[in-house]
Each structure stands twice: as C-alpha cells, then as structure tokens.
Amino acid sequence: MRILLVGEYSRFHNSLKEGLQKLHHDVTLVGRADSFKNYPIDISLDVTFFNKKLPNIFRQFVYRICKIDIAFLEVAYRFYKHRKAFQNYDAVQLINEFPFATTPFIERKLLKYIFKHNKNVFLSSCGDDFHYLNYILKADLPYHILTPYVNDNKAKKSFKYSLQYLSKPHEKLHHFVIKNSKGIIPANFDYDMAYCKHSKALPFVPFPINVDILPFKELTHKGKVIIFHGVNKVNYLKKGNDIIEKALTIIAEKYPEKAVVKTAYSLPYDEYIQTYDEAHIIMDQVYGYDQGYNALEAMAKGKVVFSGAETAFQEFYKLDTTVVLNATPNVDDLVEKLSFLIENPTEMIQIGKNARAFVERFHEYESVAKQYLERWCFNSAEHT
C-alpha cells in the first residue's frame, strides 16, 4: 500500500511509518517538525524563510499590527509546491484535525486538496481538538488538562493554544474534517473517552513505539535515585508541571542523601532522550488517564514513569502488576508514591522491567501498524 501520514506529534507518525515499512508498505510523512522537538519529516512544510533575520523582523511587525502570522503563507506555499506528491494514496491519516498548525482557513484549503485527491482519509484523535475539549469541559471527570484553567480563569493565557480549538473557526474546521474523513481512530484512552460514542469512531489503537531504537536497560541502584522532570514551557500548567515541581521540592528536601532531582526545559527530542537516560524515575504529567508518547518511550527504556494510569487503563489491559505510577494532581499523593520508591528501590527496579514488558506487548510498532492497516482497509472497503 501507498500510505500518506499527515502531521507529527511526539514521534507518533515516525514510529508508525517505521512499523508500516517493516511490513513492506510505501509510506510518506508530510508536515512540520513539531517546534523545538525537530522530528524527521519526508516532505517538510516548516517555515524557513520567515525565520531568517530580516524576514522575521517583518513577520513580527506584521503580527503586532494585524495579529496575523504571515509565515503561515510559507507553509501553504510549500504544500502547493509539493502538491502532486499528496495524490492517490491507498490510505491517508491526519494526526489531528489541525495537522499543519496554521490557521483554520488555511488548514481547510490544504486539507480540501488532500480530501479531493485521496478517497480513504482517516483522522487520528491525538492532541487537542474541538470535540475533545468540549467533552472534557462538560463531562463529570475528577480532573483533565483544562482543570487549571477551569479553577482559575487568570490562567487563560497559559491555555491559549488549547482554547483556540473552541473558537468558531476551529468548530467549522472540525466539522469539515469529520465530514470528509472515513473514520476517527483515538490514540489512547483520553481521546477514546471523548470519541467512543461518535458515529465515525473506530476502536482505539495504542501509540506505536519503536522498541528497536529504545534499548532496555535494567535499573540499578548504587547511590541516589535520580528523578528526571522534562518541562515543555508551552504546556507547563496543562501537564501539571507546577504540581510536580512542588512535589519534587519536598522530595529533594526530604531525601537529600537518597535522591536527586534533575529538571530540563524544552529540549529537542534527541537531547531530551539523552538527558533522561541516567534517570530512574521520569515525571510526565498529572492530568491524563493514559500515557502520552513521551511516557511510553521512557517506559520502553525501563524507566519508572509517573503519568496517567486510571481505572479504565488498568481494566482494559487486565494488569495485575504495576507498569506505570498513576500521577494525580495532588502533591501529597505524588510525594507518597515517590517516597515509597526511594525507600524501596527493589520495587522501583521491578516496575522498570514491567514497564518494558508492557510496551513490548501492547505498543510494539509493527503490531500496532497492523492494527492501523486493519482500520484503514476494512473501513475503506465498507465505503467503496
């Protein structure tokens, strides 16, 4: 099959591409490199001209006056320059309803071309979108990624990238994408909760993890327990980094001889991976109900990860061992769980082994790629 993957977040589509290629499919990835993370892209639509010194000065001037980022015109130009490379695929997957991260108007124009020239286009529910955010705001959930904003409207500025999806232009884009997509494939429980009753929802498929490039290294404890906290400044409150930092401050004071906390901010992907290699424990996020991509990669390497692991996750996978620590937005809860691991390093080492086994069983990239092929092929046949 010829497959086109549109957009990239957290290396999701790169790993899926690698799994599909192991199954001998022809795969092209188009999009932008997800900001500072700089993921590989086959056909890049990233802004380069308007990032140069003089064009960028003009870009900033226009933005201050008109609140319009003219760099998005470069994204559109690059798309149309390569437009013939986006035709006649057997299956196309959009990583999100806003895969090029421009404006709703430009997205509709670019996606209209994708839909016109490809019969079988599927939408991954991954990241924020109009339907997902409306769901979590209305659902009776104990917490979610917008909880800090709901609790304190003064935090609105920190959530501007998420809240944009609730605007009328994004609502229009959402309905346009849904109408033209063959099906919606949630990427984990957080998104499946929102879409499971949607008329176009397909059974969710776990994130693919390329375990071949993430070697497992059994944890050893010969000195201090190293706790790593990687912070993306854009998502600081959304991921609950403020709560995590409070808990880690308490831990550092409580265990000066037994633990050390390392924090890094907005690192490129390759540097991020290298930085946490020596760590025992990885602090991911506190508002999730399942693990995100970074958490799963850390688990694949045998780290003990604090991330989403609520009841639905535990029940679905029928887990009778701990593979990930459920991180809740509660400082005392985080401190209690961290303290237990620091005082019981043998438990920590076993959880690292469990984490790797879990990822190999449920997230191995080739087996996940097969699940995507089943969704695309079966549902394409239904509509032919």
Domains along the sequence of the chain with CATH: 2-208+365-382 (3.40.50), 211-362 (3.40.50.2000)
pLDDT tens across 250-259, in order? 999 999 999 9
Give the helix/strand (H/E) hosting 229.
strand 225-231
**What pTM value is reported for the model?**
0.92
The reported pLDDT for the residue numbered 381 is 54
> For 32-43, what is the mean pLDDT?
78
Closest CA to 70 of 78, 60, 79: 60
pLDDT of amino acid 329: 96
Strands 121-125 and 325-326, bridge-based pairing: unpaired
Could you tell me which residues come within 8 angstroms of residue 157 by beta carbon, excluding any fewer than 6 positions away?
none
- Whether residue 133 has pLDDT greater than 50: yes
Instruction: Count, in order, helices (H) and strands (E) of the chain.
Output: 16, 11
Average pLDDT rounded to a whole number, residues 284-295: 93
Overall average pLDDT of the 69-75 stretch:
88
**Contact of 353 with 218, CB cutoff 8 Å:** yes
Worst-scoring range by mean pLDDT, 20-29, 40-49, 103-112, 281-290?
Answer: 40-49
Tell which wins on pLDDT, 19 or 69.
19
Q: Is 207 helix (H, G, I), strand (E, B) or coil?
A: coil
Q: How many CB atoms lie within 10 A of CB 167?
A: 12
- As a whole number of angstroms, the distance between CA 214 and CA 163 comes to 34
Strand partners, 136: none
Q: What is the DSSP letter of 18?
A: H
CA 83, CA 103: separation in Å to the nearest integer? 19
Buried b (16+ CB within 10 A) or exposed e, 47-82: beebeeeebeeebeeeeeeeeebbbbebbbebbeee
pLDDT of residue 384: 43
Average pLDDT, the chain: 92
Contact by Cβ (8 Å): 9, 127? yes
pLDDT single digits (tens) 1-33: 999 999 998 899 999 999 999 999 999 999 987
Contact 319, 354 (CB under 8 A): no
Q: Tell me the sheet residues that pair with 5.
A: 29, 93
pLDDT at 36: 59
- Residues 79-86 have a mean pLDDT of 96
Q: What is the mean pLDDT of residues 84-101?
A: 97
Mean pLDDT in residue range 64-70:
84
- Has residue 35 got a pLDDT over 70? no
Label residue 303 by pLDDT band (50, 70, 90). very high
Q: In this predicted model, what pLDDT tens digit does every residue of 192-224 receive, in sequence order?
A: 999 999 999 999 999 999 999 999 999 998 889
- DSSP H or E segment with residue 340: helix 331-343
Is residue 148's pLDDT more than 90?
yes
Instruction: Report residue 246 as tokens.
Output: 């409070």
Q: Which residue has the higher pLDDT, 293 or 63?
A: 293
Which token pair is 258? 């037994």
Binning pLDDT at 50, 70 and 90, where does residue 166 land? very high
Of 26-30, 49-53, 210-214, 352-356, least confident by mean pLDDT is 49-53
* Rounded Cα gap, residues 12 and 244, in angstroms: 25
Strands (E) across 95-144 are located at: 121-125
Return the closest-CA partner of residue 379 out of 207, 192, 199.
199
Q: What is the pLDDT of residue 351?
A: 97
- Cα 215–Cα 221–Cα 227 angle in degrees, nearest 5: 75
pLDDT one-digit tens code per residue, 117-127: 999 999 999 99
